[in-house]
């Protein structure tokens, strides 16, 4: 029968890395403007409004994607934490089940 071995340091490093990256993605997404740009910044061309709308759509899509990445990495962090905690709980219960003779 093989014994399962867990590298708790590696799990903690993975959890910490996921947490750090999640906040980085959130920060990047927050950096994109949440208001509509003025079409006049693209000059007096007839397509200025279209370009402005396209830029606004791009910014909204980027914010959405960065928020999704932040959410997924947050879920990874919580899942790894749950694995670590569950493993520690099982180890503690198993250690308590041994009786001294």
Give the residue with greater pLDDT, 1 vs 100. Answer: 100
For residues 66 and 25, give the distance between their C-alpha atoms in angstroms, rounded to a whole number: 5
- pLDDT, tens only, 1-33: 456 677 888 999 999 999 999 999 989 988 887
Residue length of the chain: 101
Residue 1's pLDDT is: 47
pTM of the model: 0.74
Q: Cα angle vertex 76, ends 71, 79, to 5°?
A: 125
The residue among 30 and 74 whose pLDDT is bigger is 74
The C-alpha atoms of residue 21 and residue 74 are separated, in whole angstroms, by 9
pLDDT of residue 57: 92
């Amino acid at each position: 029968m093989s014994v399962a071995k867990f590298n708790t340091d590696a799990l903690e490093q993975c959890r910490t890395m996921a947490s750090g990256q999640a906040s980085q993605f959130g920060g990047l997404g927050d950096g994109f403007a949440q208001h509509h740009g003025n079409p006049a910044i693209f000059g007096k061309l007839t397509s200025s409004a279209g370009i402005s709308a396209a830029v606004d759509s791009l910014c909204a899509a980027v914010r959405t994607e960065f928020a999704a990445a932040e959410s997924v990495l947050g879920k990874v962090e919580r899942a790894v934490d749950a694995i670590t905690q569950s493993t520690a709980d099982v180890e503690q219960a198993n250690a308590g089940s041994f009786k001294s003779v």
